[in-house]
Amino acid sequence: MALGERIGRSLRPGAVLALKGGLGAGKTCLAKGIARGLGVEETVTSPTYTIIAEYRGRAPLYHIDAYRLAGDRDFESLGGPELLDGQGVAIIEWSERIPQSLPPKHIGIEIIIGNDQRRMFRISGLHGAERADLT
Bridge-based pairing of strands 89-93 and 16-20 is parallel
Query: pTM for the complete prediction?
Result: 0.90
Q: How far is CA 39 from CA 4, 106, 130, in A?
A: 12, 21, 16
Q: Is residue 11 part of a domain?
A: yes
d(CA 97, CA 12): 25
Note the pLDDT of residue 4: 95
CATH number, residue 92:
3.40.50.300
Query: pLDDT category, 126, cuts 50, 70, 90?
Result: low
Percentage of residues in the chain with pLDDT exceeding 70? 93
Q: Is residue 133 part of a domain?
A: no
Q: Is residue 49 part of a domain?
A: yes
Q: Is residue 99 part of a domain?
A: yes
Q: Is residue 103 part of a domain?
A: yes
Range of 28's domain? 2-124
d(CA 2, CA 8): 10
Mean pLDDT of the chain: 91
Angle at 55 between CA 52 and CA 56, to 5 degrees: 155
Q: Is residue 84 part of a domain?
A: yes
Tens of pLDDT along 64-105?
Answer: 999 999 999 999 999 999 999 888 999 999 999 999 999 999
Bridge-based pairing of strands 107-113 and 119-124 is antiparallel
Specify the DSSP element, H or E, that contains 20.
Answer: strand 16-20
Residue 129 reports pLDDT greater than 70: no
Tens of pLDDT along 14-27?
Answer: 999 999 999 999 99
Note the pLDDT of residue 72: 97
Residue 130 neighbours by CB distance under 10 Å: 11
Better-predicted residue by pLDDT, 127 or 121: 121
Q: Is residue 135 part of a domain?
A: no
Note the pLDDT of residue 125: 87
Q: Is residue 77 part of a domain?
A: yes
b/e map 87-124, b = 16+ CB within 10 Å = ebbbbbbbbebbeebbbeebbbbbbeeeeeeeeebeee
Number of domains into which the chain is organized: 1
